[in-house]
């Protein structure tokens, strides 16, 4: 939750050799965190930075833990956004195939002691860049890095493996559009809301583009991503032995190429604008419940300040815990599995509801939202919400692996690797001006928006007629599964 705040107070990194950054980690918890934020005992983690001539960077911390493990990430300077549409489709398969090279340990020349007992995963950053995470025995770090270097230099990409991943992806898409897998339902709803609001569609879903991916595309992407300048390596060691020479040797051995300009950047320009809601229903008579998302999506036309983001954290927590959840779940029992989403460009209420409670659940949700925007947060709820945020944030427990992900996300975005939550919590505690919070609330929702209610399920005719007559709803659009599938496949 405090990430919104942190991104506005952290300056961009200035590149210096042997720079030192620190992370404050909560070591002990006070019984009264709200009144004693500044008294919480913390353990300081110092991250040192070294910049190499090939523009690679190393961030490392020597932990006081007794574990024999190391935690390491390698993030690449070039990501998804440097590629065109066809290459974007191939990019995701490149990652799967590179990961396959690393985890199968069947390479004819790269397999050695360093390939054993090495845990490997890969992740996307919020900026569509990628990093690989490695966890292994610190005493074998040199062997592990030799193995990784060999795979990076000599990957084996085979047509049969590519065909396998393409087939699996098609099956995933088929399950999604045929509504055969309930775990994919919310993914489909989110995708449809993005498509209707911003005309964004994931190219990977197009079968023709999937079939157009060839091994030569994978090899080209490998060279542009793995062999580019600007590699960033984050290393948390749990031993006193200095492994920096080993890491430097690894980075210096990697071939280094250009960092390419990004061809694509995210933009949230609405293709439709409406205060009233358009309802889209994808009918599935096999479902015993309805999957419902009430969403308002906004253009990129609001410059959020540090204070705005803190206010939105408070607003989100208050509405979710004190307004929406109690009413929609506890008091009425007409929905289950509810949650909310609030960020710069979206506010959504997500839940499941029985077939005969679609109208009531939507009506109550819209009334709660409209009334909340009009009345704002109360002084009593402000105090309770601040206490709730402070206690939940301060009591979060992180493993070395969790911290590794947080730090890697920051350094890959050229931010100082700092996760000191105390400033954020003190800022939360000292916010007392209801007018300013409620002004932020009103400003947030006054922006140009497109309002959508998306339902997958089978509401009855009476429910549909009631929705059509709701004063906050301007249209109800019903699609059969068969019609939707045909339209879905036509998208480019």
Domain assignment present for 3: no
Q: Say if residues 229 and 200 touch (Cβ distance below 8 Å).
A: no
Please provide the size of the chain in residues: 492
Question: Which of 203, 222, 253 is the last residue before a domain boundary?
Answer: 253
Model pLDDT, residue 178: 86
pTM for this prediction:
0.83
Tally of domains within the chain: 2
CA distances from 136 to 73, 318, 428 (A): 12, 42, 39
Answer yes or no: do 119 and 158 share one domain.
yes
Q: Say if residues 207 and 36 touch (Cβ distance below 8 Å).
A: no
Query: Contacts by 326-332 with C-beta closer than 8 Å and gap 24+?
Result: 327/364, 327/368, 328/361, 328/364, 328/365, 328/368, 332/360, 332/364
Model pLDDT, residue 42: 46
**Nearby residues of 403 by Cβ (< 8 Å), 6 or more positions away:** 23, 25, 45, 236, 419
DSSP state, 24?
E
Please give the full DSSP string across 215-284, using - where no structure is assigned.
HHHHHHHHHHHHTBS--EEEEEE-SSS--HHHHHHHHHHS--BPPPPPS-------S--EEEEEEEEEE-
Measured between alpha carbons, how far is 71 from 400 in angstroms, rounded to an integer? 7
**Nearby residues of 471 by Cβ (< 8 Å), 6 or more positions away:** none
Q: Say if residues 134 and 118 touch (Cβ distance below 8 Å).
A: yes
Answer yes or no: do 241 and 280 share one domain.
no
Domain assignment present for 265: no
Measured between alpha carbons, how far is 370 from 278 in angstroms, rounded to an integer? 17
Question: What 3-state class would DSSP assign to 113?
Answer: helix
CATH number for the domain harbouring residue 387? 3.30.830.10
Measured between alpha carbons, how far is 195 from 450 in angstroms, rounded to an integer? 12
- Farthest CA pair distance, the chain: 72
Domain assignment present for 405: no
Question: What 3-state class would DSSP assign to 265?
Answer: coil
Cβ-based burial of 453 (10 A; exposed 0-12, middle 13-18, buried ≥19): buried
Domain assignment present for 282: yes
Answer yes or no: do 232 and 290 share one domain.
no
| ∠ CA 190-195-196, rounded to 5° | 100
Answer yes or no: do 337 and 480 share one domain.
yes
Domain extent, residue 221, equals 10-184+195-253
Compute how many other C-beta atoms are within 10 angstroms of the C-beta atom of residue 212: 13
Answer yes or no: do 234 and 156 share one domain.
yes
DSSP state, 40?
-
pLDDT in tens, the chain (492 residues): 433 433 333 333 333 334 554 444 444 444 566 666 655 544 555 678 888 877 788 888 877 777 788 999 999 888 888 888 778 889 999 999 999 999 988 888 987 766 788 999 999 887 788 999 999 988 899 999 999 999 999 999 999 999 999 999 888 888 888 888 878 899 899 999 999 998 876 555 566 778 889 999 999 999 999 988 788 889 888 765 678 888 888 888 877 777 777 776 666 788 889 999 999 999 998 888 999 999 999 987 677 888 899 999 999 999 999 999 999 887 787 888 899 999 888 999 999 999 889 999 999 999 999 999 999 999 999 999 999 998 887 777 777 787 788 888 878 777 666 556 677 788 898 999 999 999 999 999 999 999 999 999 999 999 999 999 999 999 999 999 999 988 887 776
Answer yes or no: do 57 and 133 share one domain.
yes
Helix axes 358-375, 434-446, angle to 10 degrees: 130
Domain assignment present for 406: no
Domain assignment present for 258: no
Answer yes or no: do 240 and 297 share one domain.
no
Answer yes or no: do 311 and 228 share one domain.
no
* Residue 355 tokens, joined: 């077939």
Domain assignment present for 267: no
Answer yes or no: do 96 and 38 share one domain.
yes
Answer yes or no: do 293 and 158 share one domain.
no
> Considering only CA atoms, which of 264, 166, 260 is closest in space to residue 209?
166
CA distances from 475 to 262, 278, 454, 468 (A): 39, 5, 12, 7
Answer yes or no: do 237 and 297 share one domain.
no
Measured between alpha carbons, how far is 348 from 451 in angstroms, rounded to an integer? 10
Domain assignment present for 70: yes
Answer yes or no: do 217 and 331 share one domain.
no
Measured between alpha carbons, how far is 327 from 329 in angstroms, rounded to an integer? 6
Residue 24 half-sphere exposure toward CB, CA atoms < 13 A: 13
* Residue 460 tokens, joined: 């009855």
Measured between alpha carbons, how far is 126 from 290 in angstroms, rounded to an integer? 30
Q: Say if residues 44 and 24 touch (Cβ distance below 8 Å).
A: yes
């Amino acid at each position: 939750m405090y990430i919104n705040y942190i991104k506005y107070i952290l300056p961009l990194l200035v590149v210096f050799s042997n720079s030192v950054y620190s992370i404050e980690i909560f070591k002990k918890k006070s019984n009264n965190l709200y009144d004693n934020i500044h008294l919480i005992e913390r353990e300081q983690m110092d991250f040192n930075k070294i910049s190499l001539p090939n523009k690679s960077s190393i961030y490392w911390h020597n932990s006081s833990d007794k574990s024999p493990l190391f935690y390491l990430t390698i993030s690449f300077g070039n990501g998804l956004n440097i590629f065109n549409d066809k290459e974007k489709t191939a990019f995701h398969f490149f990652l799967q195939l590179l990961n396959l090279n690393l985890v199968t340990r069947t390479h004819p020349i790269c397999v050695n002691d360093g390939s054993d007992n090495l845990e490997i995963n890969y992740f996307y950053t919020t900026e569509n860049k990628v990093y690989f995470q490695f966890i292994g025995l610190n005493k074998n770090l040199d062997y592990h890095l030799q193995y990784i270097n060999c795979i990076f230099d000599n990957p084996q990409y085979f047509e049969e493996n590519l065909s396998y991943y393409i087939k699996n992806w098609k099956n995933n898409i088929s399950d999604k559009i045929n509504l055969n897998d309930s775990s994919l339902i919310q993914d489909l709803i989110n995708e449809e809301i993005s498509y209707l609001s911003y005309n964004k569609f994931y190219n990977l879903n197009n079968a023709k583009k999937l079939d157009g991916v060839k091994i030569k595309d994978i090899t080209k992407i490998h060279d542009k991503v793995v062999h580019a300048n600007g590699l960033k390596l984050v290393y948390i060691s749990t031993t006193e032995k200095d492994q920096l020479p080993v890491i430097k040797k690894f980075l210096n051995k990697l071939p280094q190429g250009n960092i390419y300009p990004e061809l694509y950047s995210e933009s949230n320009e609405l293709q439709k604008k409406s205060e009233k809601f358009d309802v889209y229903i994808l009918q599935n008579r096999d479902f015993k419940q309805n999957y419902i998302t009430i969403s308002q999506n906004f253009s990129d036309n609001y410059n959020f300040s540090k204070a705005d983001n803190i206010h939105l954290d408070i607003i989100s927590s208050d509405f979710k815990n004190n307004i929406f959840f109690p009413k929609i779940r506890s008091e009425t029992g007409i929905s289950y599995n509810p949650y909310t989403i609030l960020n710069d460009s979206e506010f959504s209420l997500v839940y499941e509801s029985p077939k005969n409670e679609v109208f009531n659940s939507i009506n109550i949700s819209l009334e709660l939202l409209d009334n909340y925007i009009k009345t704002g947060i109360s002084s009593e709820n402000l105090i309770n919400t601040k206490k709730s945020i402070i206690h939940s944030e301060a009591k979060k427990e992180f493993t070395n692996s969790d911290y590794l992900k947080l730090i890697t996300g920051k350094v890959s975005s050229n931010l100082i690797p700092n996760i000191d939550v105390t400033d954020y919590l003190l800022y939360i505690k000292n916010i007392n001006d209801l007018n300013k919070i409620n002004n932020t609330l009103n400003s947030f929702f006054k922006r140009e928006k497109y309002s959508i209610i998306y339902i997958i399920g089978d509401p009855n005719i009476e429910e549909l007629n009631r929705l059509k007559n709701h004063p906050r709803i301007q249209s109800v659009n019903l699609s059969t599964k068969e019609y939707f599938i045909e339209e879905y496949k036509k998208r480019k």
